[in-house]
Structure 1
Amino acid sequence: MTEIADKLKLIPLTVNEDVDTHDIQSAYQSDLLSCVICAAGDKSIWVTLINNINIVAVAKLLDIPVIIITEGALPDEATIDRARLEGISVYSSPKGNYQIAGELWELGITE
């Protein structure tokens, strides 16, 4: 994930020390928590504009180790603290969902 974050120029907000041990093969983009719960795969990257603490709960529920928050949105400290506690890496990007998804595709994250 460190290589992906570097290539996408992501801003790390909290990075789990195990982030590079996950075999990430897929990504899911949605701003609706219910859609993520129904369709996102485990060990995937979640791309979203949502920046509240609920993203951590959903990521933990689904074993999603990485969240990329787009459009420059930043979570509050409570969200960052909870992500750190749960072992979820959270990154931010000024780019939009579509652009991040396209760049992930170009890097071979095609599922």
Structure 2
Amino acid sequence: MHEMSLCESVLQVLENEAKCQHFSQVTAVWLEIGAMSGVEVDAMRFCFDVIVRNTLADGAKLEIIEIPAQAWCLDCAQTVSIQQRYDACPHCGSYQLQVIQGDEMRIKELEVK
């Protein structure tokens, strides 16, 4: 379950930012998670609650914003929605697609005290 290590990394970012920006408590975290990131959202929620216990983010609300996957078709020069890697372009049928969105995970916003 790599979601556990992802949550540990998120906590590390929170702790580093707390030192830099001088806050002592995180009350909410917004994560953007791409549809093709390989992150299981339910597992992420569970792991987050476990990892942040007895930390500056204990009890913090986790909001997850799911980002749809999109790719740029090199043949027809259009941005297209995709469900998985190696999908064909829905416009021209080409497999020359470059993923431009949907494989990322990032902290979008924090609510702190």
TM-score, with length taken from structure 1: 0.30
- When the two structures are superposed, what TM-score results if normalisation uses the length of structure 2? 0.29
More strand by share: 2
